[in-house]
Homo-oligomer: A and B are copies of this chain.
Amino acid sequence: MTSRWKALLVTLVLSLACAGGAGAAEPMVRGTGDLGIVIERAAGTVLVVDTTARAILSRVEGLGDLSHASAVFSRDERYAYVFGRDGGLTKVDILSGKVVKRVVQSGNSIGGAISQDGRLVAVSNYKPGGVKIFDAGTLDLVADIPADYGAGDPSKVVGLVDAPGHKFVFSLWDGGEIWMVDMTDPNSPVTTKFEDIGIQPYDALISGDGRYYIAGLFGEDGMALLDLWHPEAGVKRVLDGYGRGEQKLPVYKMPHLEGWAIADGHAFVPAVGRHEVLVISLGTWQEVARIPVHGQPVFVMARPDGRQVWVNFALPANDTVQVIDVPSRRIVKTLTPGKGVLHMEFTPRGEEVWVSVRDRDKIIVYDTARIEPVTELPADKPSGIFFTARAHRIGL
Protein backbone atom coordinates (compact mmCIF):
# COMPACT_ATOMS: atom_id res chain seq x y z
CA MET A 1 0.00 0.00 0.00
CA THR A 2 1.36 3.45 -0.83
CA SER A 3 1.63 6.08 1.85
CA ARG A 4 -1.18 8.06 0.19
CA TRP A 5 -3.49 5.07 0.52
CA LYS A 6 -2.44 4.59 4.12
CA ALA A 7 -3.24 8.23 4.84
CA LEU A 8 -6.66 7.75 3.25
CA LEU A 9 -7.18 4.66 5.37
CA VAL A 10 -6.42 6.65 8.54
CA THR A 11 -8.89 9.32 7.41
CA LEU A 12 -11.54 6.66 6.81
CA VAL A 13 -10.94 5.08 10.20
CA LEU A 14 -11.16 8.50 11.84
CA SER A 15 -14.43 9.29 10.02
CA LEU A 16 -15.97 6.06 11.21
CA ALA A 17 -14.71 6.64 14.74
CA CYS A 18 -16.33 10.06 14.84
CA ALA A 19 -19.63 9.03 13.22
CA GLY A 20 -21.10 7.74 16.45
CA GLY A 21 -20.10 10.66 18.62
CA ALA A 22 -19.04 14.26 18.54
CA GLY A 23 -17.26 15.49 15.42
CA ALA A 24 -13.60 16.42 15.49
CA ALA A 25 -14.55 20.05 16.09
CA GLU A 26 -16.06 19.22 19.48
CA PRO A 27 -13.43 18.49 22.10
CA MET A 28 -13.72 15.09 23.73
CA VAL A 29 -14.70 14.64 27.37
CA ARG A 30 -12.06 12.26 28.62
CA GLY A 31 -8.86 11.95 30.61
CA THR A 32 -5.66 12.87 28.83
CA GLY A 33 -3.12 10.74 30.68
CA ASP A 34 -3.11 7.99 28.05
CA LEU A 35 -2.88 10.18 24.97
CA GLY A 36 -0.01 11.21 22.73
CA ILE A 37 0.95 12.38 19.28
CA VAL A 38 2.80 10.87 16.33
CA ILE A 39 4.65 13.16 13.91
CA GLU A 40 3.90 12.51 10.22
CA ARG A 41 7.04 14.14 8.92
CA ALA A 42 6.34 14.36 5.20
CA ALA A 43 2.75 15.55 5.40
CA GLY A 44 3.28 18.13 8.14
CA THR A 45 0.53 16.51 10.20
CA VAL A 46 0.30 14.83 13.59
CA LEU A 47 -1.87 11.96 14.73
CA VAL A 48 -3.49 12.09 18.18
CA VAL A 49 -3.33 8.60 19.68
CA ASP A 50 -4.79 6.70 22.65
CA THR A 51 -2.44 4.19 24.27
CA THR A 52 -5.19 2.38 26.20
CA ALA A 53 -7.32 1.60 23.14
CA ARG A 54 -4.19 1.53 20.91
CA ALA A 55 -6.11 3.74 18.51
CA ILE A 56 -5.79 6.89 16.41
CA LEU A 57 -8.22 9.59 17.54
CA SER A 58 -7.63 12.40 15.06
CA ARG A 59 -5.24 13.89 12.51
CA VAL A 60 -4.17 17.51 12.88
CA GLU A 61 -3.04 19.33 9.74
CA GLY A 62 -1.06 22.42 8.88
CA LEU A 63 2.01 22.18 11.10
CA GLY A 64 4.54 23.05 8.40
CA ASP A 65 7.91 21.30 7.96
CA LEU A 66 8.10 18.48 10.49
CA SER A 67 11.22 16.80 9.09
CA HIS A 68 13.03 17.05 12.45
CA ALA A 69 10.14 17.75 14.80
CA SER A 70 9.75 17.19 18.51
CA ALA A 71 7.09 18.05 21.09
CA VAL A 72 6.42 18.81 24.74
CA PHE A 73 3.13 18.87 26.66
CA SER A 74 1.29 21.33 28.89
CA ARG A 75 1.17 20.36 32.55
CA ASP A 76 -2.55 19.53 32.27
CA GLU A 77 -1.66 17.14 29.41
CA ARG A 78 -4.20 18.73 27.06
CA TYR A 79 -1.93 20.69 24.72
CA ALA A 80 1.06 19.60 22.64
CA TYR A 81 3.68 22.17 21.63
CA VAL A 82 5.26 20.97 18.37
CA PHE A 83 8.63 22.34 17.30
CA GLY A 84 9.09 22.23 13.50
CA ARG A 85 12.25 22.51 11.47
CA ASP A 86 10.93 25.66 9.77
CA GLY A 87 10.90 27.65 13.01
CA GLY A 88 7.22 26.94 13.55
CA LEU A 89 5.89 26.54 17.08
CA THR A 90 2.41 25.03 16.99
CA LYS A 91 0.08 24.56 19.96
CA VAL A 92 -2.29 21.64 19.39
CA ASP A 93 -5.40 20.85 21.45
CA ILE A 94 -5.37 17.07 21.53
CA LEU A 95 -8.92 16.91 22.91
CA SER A 96 -10.32 18.65 19.83
CA GLY A 97 -7.63 17.60 17.36
CA LYS A 98 -7.11 21.21 16.27
CA VAL A 99 -4.35 23.78 16.05
CA VAL A 100 -4.96 26.41 18.73
CA LYS A 101 -2.19 28.74 17.62
CA ARG A 102 0.89 28.71 15.43
CA VAL A 103 3.80 31.15 15.30
CA VAL A 104 6.77 30.98 12.97
CA GLN A 105 9.33 32.29 15.39
CA SER A 106 12.55 31.86 13.40
CA GLY A 107 13.82 30.62 10.06
CA ASN A 108 15.14 27.30 11.35
CA SER A 109 14.75 25.70 14.74
CA ILE A 110 15.94 22.52 16.38
CA GLY A 111 13.88 21.79 19.44
CA GLY A 112 12.26 23.12 22.56
CA ALA A 113 11.35 22.65 26.18
CA ILE A 114 8.64 23.59 28.67
CA SER A 115 9.37 25.14 32.06
CA GLN A 116 8.97 23.25 35.32
CA ASP A 117 5.72 25.08 36.14
CA GLY A 118 4.39 24.73 32.59
CA ARG A 119 4.02 28.48 32.07
CA LEU A 120 6.84 29.01 29.53
CA VAL A 121 7.83 27.29 26.29
CA ALA A 122 11.37 27.82 24.96
CA VAL A 123 12.63 27.19 21.42
CA SER A 124 16.27 26.86 20.30
CA ASN A 125 17.11 28.29 16.90
CA TYR A 126 19.65 27.96 14.11
CA LYS A 127 18.66 30.96 11.92
CA PRO A 128 18.96 33.38 13.52
CA GLY A 129 20.60 31.73 16.52
CA GLY A 130 19.48 32.09 20.10
CA VAL A 131 16.52 31.08 22.22
CA LYS A 132 13.03 32.54 22.29
CA ILE A 133 10.72 31.99 25.22
CA PHE A 134 6.94 32.15 24.91
CA ASP A 135 3.95 32.27 27.23
CA ALA A 136 2.54 28.72 27.14
CA GLY A 137 -1.03 30.01 27.20
CA THR A 138 -0.93 32.67 24.48
CA LEU A 139 2.37 31.97 22.65
CA ASP A 140 3.21 35.66 23.17
CA LEU A 141 6.96 36.31 23.23
CA VAL A 142 8.21 36.66 26.82
CA ALA A 143 11.99 36.73 26.35
CA ASP A 144 14.42 36.82 23.41
CA ILE A 145 17.93 35.57 24.20
CA PRO A 146 20.18 36.07 21.15
CA ALA A 147 23.09 33.88 22.34
CA ASP A 148 25.75 36.48 21.50
CA TYR A 149 29.15 35.15 22.42
CA GLY A 150 31.41 37.97 21.28
CA ALA A 151 31.58 37.16 17.57
CA GLY A 152 29.28 38.54 14.87
CA ASP A 153 26.02 36.65 14.63
CA PRO A 154 24.22 34.96 17.52
CA SER A 155 25.26 31.35 17.97
CA LYS A 156 23.18 28.45 16.79
CA VAL A 157 21.66 26.88 19.90
CA VAL A 158 21.35 23.13 20.58
CA GLY A 159 20.60 20.82 23.49
CA LEU A 160 17.87 22.97 25.05
CA VAL A 161 16.28 21.36 28.14
CA ASP A 162 14.24 22.40 31.16
CA ALA A 163 15.67 22.02 34.65
CA PRO A 164 14.35 22.36 38.20
CA GLY A 165 14.07 25.90 39.57
CA HIS A 166 12.31 27.22 36.44
CA LYS A 167 15.54 27.03 34.47
CA PHE A 168 16.39 26.37 30.85
CA VAL A 169 19.84 25.08 29.92
CA PHE A 170 21.30 25.02 26.40
CA SER A 171 24.56 24.95 24.42
CA LEU A 172 26.03 27.34 21.85
CA TRP A 173 27.25 25.43 18.78
CA ASP A 174 29.30 28.33 17.43
CA GLY A 175 30.24 29.78 20.80
CA GLY A 176 31.33 26.62 22.61
CA GLU A 177 29.42 27.67 25.71
CA ILE A 178 26.67 26.35 28.01
CA TRP A 179 24.10 28.86 29.25
CA MET A 180 21.68 28.46 32.15
CA VAL A 181 18.71 30.84 32.23
CA ASP A 182 16.66 31.20 35.42
CA MET A 183 13.10 32.22 34.52
CA THR A 184 11.74 32.41 38.07
CA ASP A 185 10.78 36.00 37.20
CA PRO A 186 9.76 35.74 33.52
CA ASN A 187 10.32 39.47 33.08
CA SER A 188 13.89 39.30 34.34
CA PRO A 189 15.73 36.25 33.00
CA VAL A 190 19.00 35.65 34.86
CA THR A 191 21.62 34.08 32.59
CA THR A 192 24.71 32.23 33.85
CA LYS A 193 27.31 31.51 31.15
CA PHE A 194 29.91 28.75 31.12
CA GLU A 195 32.58 29.52 28.51
CA ASP A 196 35.13 27.38 26.68
CA ILE A 197 33.29 24.14 27.37
CA GLY A 198 34.55 22.51 24.13
CA ILE A 199 34.35 22.82 20.35
CA GLN A 200 30.95 22.63 18.67
CA PRO A 201 28.54 21.12 21.19
CA TYR A 202 26.01 19.42 18.90
CA ASP A 203 23.41 18.03 21.30
CA ALA A 204 22.90 17.51 25.02
CA LEU A 205 20.83 15.68 27.57
CA ILE A 206 19.80 16.14 31.18
CA SER A 207 19.53 13.24 33.62
CA GLY A 208 16.02 12.26 34.68
CA ASP A 209 16.43 13.96 38.05
CA GLY A 210 17.44 17.21 36.38
CA ARG A 211 20.89 17.19 37.96
CA TYR A 212 23.44 16.45 35.22
CA TYR A 213 23.55 18.36 31.93
CA ILE A 214 25.86 16.65 29.43
CA ALA A 215 26.76 18.09 26.02
CA GLY A 216 28.32 16.07 23.19
CA LEU A 217 31.10 17.73 21.19
CA PHE A 218 31.36 17.52 17.40
CA GLY A 219 34.71 19.32 17.14
CA GLU A 220 36.65 17.15 19.56
CA ASP A 221 36.32 14.01 21.66
CA GLY A 222 34.91 13.96 25.18
CA MET A 223 31.76 15.48 26.68
CA ALA A 224 31.03 18.58 28.75
CA LEU A 225 29.36 17.90 32.12
CA LEU A 226 27.59 20.51 34.25
CA ASP A 227 26.37 19.40 37.70
CA LEU A 228 23.39 21.70 38.29
CA TRP A 229 23.53 20.95 42.02
CA HIS A 230 26.99 22.54 42.00
CA PRO A 231 27.11 25.08 39.16
CA GLU A 232 29.85 26.95 41.03
CA ALA A 233 32.16 24.01 40.25
CA GLY A 234 31.85 24.83 36.55
CA VAL A 235 31.86 22.51 33.54
CA LYS A 236 34.04 19.41 33.64
CA ARG A 237 35.29 17.26 30.79
CA VAL A 238 34.25 13.59 30.98
CA LEU A 239 34.41 10.52 28.74
CA ASP A 240 37.55 11.66 26.94
CA GLY A 241 37.31 8.86 24.40
CA TYR A 242 33.74 9.66 23.40
CA GLY A 243 33.20 11.16 19.97
CA ARG A 244 34.10 10.93 16.33
CA GLY A 245 37.78 10.50 17.09
CA GLU A 246 37.27 6.91 18.18
CA GLN A 247 35.42 5.94 15.04
CA LYS A 248 36.50 2.93 13.08
CA LEU A 249 33.55 3.12 10.73
CA PRO A 250 32.01 6.04 8.83
CA VAL A 251 29.40 7.85 10.95
CA TYR A 252 26.05 7.64 9.18
CA LYS A 253 24.16 9.63 11.78
CA MET A 254 25.26 11.30 14.98
CA PRO A 255 23.36 9.54 17.75
CA HIS A 256 20.71 11.36 19.72
CA LEU A 257 21.96 12.13 23.20
CA GLU A 258 18.39 12.45 24.47
CA GLY A 259 18.36 8.72 24.01
CA TRP A 260 20.75 8.01 26.86
CA ALA A 261 19.25 5.37 29.06
CA ILE A 262 19.80 5.48 32.82
CA ALA A 263 19.31 2.04 34.39
CA ASP A 264 20.75 0.16 37.34
CA GLY A 265 23.20 2.94 38.27
CA HIS A 266 24.63 3.12 34.76
CA ALA A 267 24.08 5.10 31.59
CA PHE A 268 23.65 3.09 28.40
CA VAL A 269 25.05 5.28 25.64
CA PRO A 270 25.19 5.00 21.84
CA ALA A 271 28.79 4.82 20.63
CA VAL A 272 29.68 7.17 17.79
CA GLY A 273 30.51 5.33 14.57
CA ARG A 274 30.76 1.92 16.21
CA HIS A 275 28.39 -1.00 16.49
CA GLU A 276 28.36 -0.73 20.27
CA VAL A 277 26.38 0.50 23.23
CA LEU A 278 28.67 1.87 25.94
CA VAL A 279 27.93 1.31 29.62
CA ILE A 280 29.03 4.26 31.79
CA SER A 281 29.10 4.30 35.58
CA LEU A 282 27.11 7.24 36.94
CA GLY A 283 29.07 9.58 39.17
CA THR A 284 32.53 8.41 38.13
CA TRP A 285 31.61 8.73 34.41
CA GLN A 286 33.95 5.87 33.56
CA GLU A 287 33.18 3.38 30.82
CA VAL A 288 32.71 -0.06 32.39
CA ALA A 289 31.53 -2.18 29.44
CA ARG A 290 30.73 -2.24 25.73
CA ILE A 291 27.84 -4.24 24.31
CA PRO A 292 28.19 -5.27 20.63
CA VAL A 293 25.02 -4.46 18.67
CA HIS A 294 23.69 -4.81 15.13
CA GLY A 295 24.65 -1.38 13.76
CA GLN A 296 25.42 2.20 14.71
CA PRO A 297 22.95 2.99 17.51
CA VAL A 298 20.77 6.11 17.27
CA PHE A 299 18.34 5.93 20.20
CA VAL A 300 19.27 3.88 23.27
CA MET A 301 16.21 4.00 25.50
CA ALA A 302 15.49 2.40 28.88
CA ARG A 303 12.12 0.89 29.63
CA PRO A 304 10.70 2.99 32.48
CA ASP A 305 11.62 0.32 35.05
CA GLY A 306 15.20 0.16 33.76
CA ARG A 307 15.16 -3.60 33.25
CA GLN A 308 15.46 -3.43 29.44
CA VAL A 309 17.18 -1.09 26.99
CA TRP A 310 15.84 -0.81 23.42
CA VAL A 311 18.13 0.30 20.60
CA ASN A 312 17.50 1.43 17.01
CA PHE A 313 20.13 2.06 14.34
CA ALA A 314 21.41 4.28 11.55
CA LEU A 315 21.42 3.22 7.91
CA PRO A 316 21.94 0.59 6.62
CA ALA A 317 20.66 -1.14 9.78
CA ASN A 318 17.63 1.07 10.33
CA ASP A 319 15.18 -1.81 9.86
CA THR A 320 16.20 -3.39 13.16
CA VAL A 321 15.58 -2.95 16.89
CA GLN A 322 17.53 -4.80 19.56
CA VAL A 323 16.55 -5.35 23.18
CA ILE A 324 19.25 -5.50 25.88
CA ASP A 325 18.64 -7.17 29.24
CA VAL A 326 20.20 -4.74 31.73
CA PRO A 327 21.50 -7.03 34.51
CA SER A 328 23.19 -9.49 32.10
CA ARG A 329 24.01 -6.80 29.48
CA ARG A 330 23.07 -9.28 26.75
CA ILE A 331 20.86 -8.87 23.72
CA VAL A 332 17.75 -10.93 24.39
CA LYS A 333 15.88 -10.20 21.16
CA THR A 334 16.45 -8.78 17.69
CA LEU A 335 13.36 -7.43 15.94
CA THR A 336 13.02 -6.30 12.33
CA PRO A 337 10.05 -3.93 12.25
CA GLY A 338 11.06 -2.74 8.77
CA LYS A 339 13.01 0.01 7.02
CA GLY A 340 13.11 3.40 8.65
CA VAL A 341 12.67 2.71 12.35
CA LEU A 342 12.94 6.35 13.50
CA HIS A 343 11.70 6.51 17.09
CA MET A 344 10.39 4.53 20.05
CA GLU A 345 8.20 5.66 22.95
CA PHE A 346 7.34 3.57 26.00
CA THR A 347 3.96 3.74 27.67
CA PRO A 348 4.37 5.54 31.02
CA ARG A 349 4.77 2.37 33.12
CA GLY A 350 6.56 0.50 30.35
CA GLU A 351 4.25 -2.42 29.54
CA GLU A 352 4.28 -1.51 25.84
CA VAL A 353 6.42 0.43 23.39
CA TRP A 354 5.34 2.18 20.20
CA VAL A 355 7.81 2.04 17.30
CA SER A 356 7.54 4.26 14.20
CA VAL A 357 8.47 2.53 10.93
CA ARG A 358 8.66 5.31 8.33
CA ASP A 359 9.04 3.32 5.13
CA ARG A 360 6.21 0.93 5.98
CA ASP A 361 3.88 3.79 6.96
CA LYS A 362 3.01 2.23 10.28
CA ILE A 363 3.38 2.25 14.01
CA ILE A 364 4.03 -1.15 15.59
CA VAL A 365 3.08 -1.60 19.25
CA TYR A 366 5.06 -4.22 21.19
CA ASP A 367 4.38 -5.92 24.52
CA THR A 368 7.69 -5.44 26.36
CA ALA A 369 7.35 -8.48 28.65
CA ARG A 370 6.99 -10.96 25.79
CA ILE A 371 8.79 -8.66 23.28
CA GLU A 372 6.13 -9.47 20.71
CA PRO A 373 4.00 -7.21 18.50
CA VAL A 374 0.50 -6.49 19.82
CA THR A 375 -0.97 -4.40 17.03
CA GLU A 376 -0.15 -2.06 14.15
CA LEU A 377 -1.56 1.34 13.27
CA PRO A 378 -1.35 3.09 9.92
CA ALA A 379 0.56 6.38 9.82
CA ASP A 380 1.97 8.50 7.00
CA LYS A 381 5.79 8.43 7.22
CA PRO A 382 5.80 8.48 11.02
CA SER A 383 8.82 9.78 12.93
CA GLY A 384 8.70 11.08 16.52
CA ILE A 385 6.21 9.61 19.02
CA PHE A 386 5.46 11.61 22.18
CA PHE A 387 3.09 10.59 24.99
CA THR A 388 1.51 13.06 27.41
CA ALA A 389 3.24 11.50 30.44
CA ARG A 390 6.26 13.59 29.37
CA ALA A 391 4.43 16.55 30.92
CA HIS A 392 5.26 15.16 34.35
CA ARG A 393 8.92 14.45 33.67
CA ILE A 394 11.95 16.69 34.09
CA GLY A 395 13.91 17.37 30.88
CA LEU A 396 11.38 15.88 28.43
Contacts and interface: CB of A to CB of B under 8 A. Distances in A.
Given A211-B305, A349-B393, A32 B31 contact: yes
Contacts of A52: 75-76, 118
A392 B209 contact: no
A253 to B, nearest CB: 30
A32 B95 CA distance: 11
Contact of A165 (B31, B265, B304, B369): B369
A77 interface: yes
- The quantity of this chain's copies bound in the complex is 2
A209 B389 contact: no
B369 A33 contact: no
Given A27-B29, A33-B77, A77-B77, A392 B349 contact: yes
A338 interface: no
A117 B118 CA distance: 27
A31 B79 contact: yes
Contacts of A73: 33
A388 B348 CA distance: 13
Given A209-B306, A327-B229, A391 B348 contact: yes
A207 to B, nearest CB: 10
B307 A283 contact: no
Nearest to A77: B33
Contacts of A350: 116, 164, 394
A32 B29 contact: no
A279 to B, nearest CB: 16
A165 to B, nearest CB: 5
A283 B265 contact: yes
Interface residues of A, number: 51
Contact of A33 (B33, B184, B209, B351): B33
Tell me the dominant secondary structure on chain A's binding face: loop
A307 B229 contact: yes
Given A31-B77, A32-B33, A33-B32, A351 B117 contact: yes
A301 to B, nearest CB: 15
Given A77-B33, A369-B166, A304 B394 contact: yes
A34 B75 contact: yes
Contacts of A349: 75, 116-117, 164, 392-394
A209 B28 CA distance: 33
Contacts of A165: 369
A74 interface: yes
B76 A33 contact: yes
Nearest to A94: B31
Interface string A19-44: 00000000111111111000000000
A307 B164 contact: yes
Contacts of A79: 31
A28 to B, nearest CB: 8
A166 B352 CA distance: 12
